[in-house]
């Protein structure tokens, strides 16, 4: 696991209060529920990336070492109720059902606490069938969870117990903070492996490159030319998910950058096409 001097996250007053509640709850759970496995909490992904870049965000993904998101969230909200942080009428988490077709491989528990939107989900590892982008999911280690992610800059964790940034890929901090003036856009695994598992990640790499004006690794360009990945981009992903990524690209500060990247990768025709059911049939003569 990599660390870089200066990779420090300064918590706001509200964030610090929330982190303290999470830490205290984990200790409370260890003592009061010996029937449950000891649980560690890490804040994952986009919140860590944005905080390191100096941006503010009010969304947190809380990754759990040994409990499902719903189990942890339910018990955590009961604890916050018992110490008067929230009211009893506000102590139920919102359940987001698993929906693999929309990149939700696991059931997630969501709750707004102290004005911060929290999603609770277990650390996980994923395996994919050759013909599907819907993974088989099991509990995983922080390393396995980091390596399954789309990009190294999105694979970082903030460990709430020792207040440090964890970089289990060994690349994320460098790519985010030290590569150059701009983030370096690359995948934790070889790009062909990452995109073959889930070809939507190719579009996500373009979107994040556009958002941060990042430098894109040559592996990503090479993967975009791979026949298997090009076919998977058309056959394994719903048009709804493709459209969602394109809309996010167009809402970025420089949408033209995304369109140029799509052109450079020669995937325009794989994204913008009419499904066969909507194509006009030639008129009879």
Q: Give the model confidence (pLDDT) of 99-131 as tens digits.
A: 655 555 568 899 999 999 999 999 998 776 666
Confidence of residue 136 (pLDDT cuts 50, 70, 90): confident
Tell me the CA distances in angstroms from 82 to 76, 78, 87, 177, one per residue in order.
10, 6, 9, 41
Using the predicted structure, report yes or no on whether residue 161 has a pLDDT greater than 70. yes
Long-range contact set of residues 90-95: C-beta below 8 Å, sequence gap at least 24 = 93/120, 95/70
pLDDT, average across residues 7-28: 96
Whether the model pTM is above 0.95: no
Distance CA 30, CA 179 (A): 41
Per-residue pLDDT tens for 66-78?
A: 999 999 999 999 9
The domains of the chain, with CATH numbers, are 1-176 (3.30.460.10), 179-272 (1.10.110.30)
Distance CA 205, CA 258 (A): 10
């Amino acid at each position: 696991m990599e660390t870089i001097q200066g990779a420090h996250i300064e918590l706001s007053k509200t964030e610090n209060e929330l982190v303290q509640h999470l830490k205290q709850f984990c200790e409370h759970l260890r003592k009061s529920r010996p029937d449950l496995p000891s649980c560690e909490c890490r804040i994952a992904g986009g919140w860590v990336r944005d905080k390191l870049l100096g941006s503010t965000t009010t969304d947190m993904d809380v990754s759990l070492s040994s409990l499902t998101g719903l189990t942890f969230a339910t018990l955590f909200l009961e604890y916050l109720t018992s110490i008067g942080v929230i009211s009893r009428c506000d102590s139920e988490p919102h359940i987001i059902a698993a929906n693999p077709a929309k990149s939700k491989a696991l059931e997630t528990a969501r709750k707004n606490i102290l004005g911060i939107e929290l999603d609770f989900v277990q650390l996980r590892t994923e395996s994919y069938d050759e013909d599907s982008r819907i993974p088989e999911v099991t509990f995983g280690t922080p390393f396995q969870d980091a390596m399954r992610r789309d990009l190294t800059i999105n694979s970082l964790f903030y460990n709430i117990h020792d207040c440090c940034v964890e970089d289990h890929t060994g690349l994320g901090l460098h790519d985010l903070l030290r590569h150059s003036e701009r983030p370096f856009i690359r995948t934790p695994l070889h790009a062909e492996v990452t995109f073959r598992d889930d070809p939507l990640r190719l579009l996500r790499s373009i979107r994040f490159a556009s958002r941060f004006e990042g430098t894109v690794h040559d592996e990503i360009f090479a993967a975009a030319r791979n026949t298997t990945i090009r076919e998977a981009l058309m056959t394994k992903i719903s048009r709804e998910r493709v459209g969602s990524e394109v809309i996010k690209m167009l809402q970025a500060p420089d949408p033209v950058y995304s369109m140029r990247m799509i052109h450079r990768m020669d995937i325009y025709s794989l994204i913008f096409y009419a499904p066969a059911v909507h194509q006009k049939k030639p008129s009879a003569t």
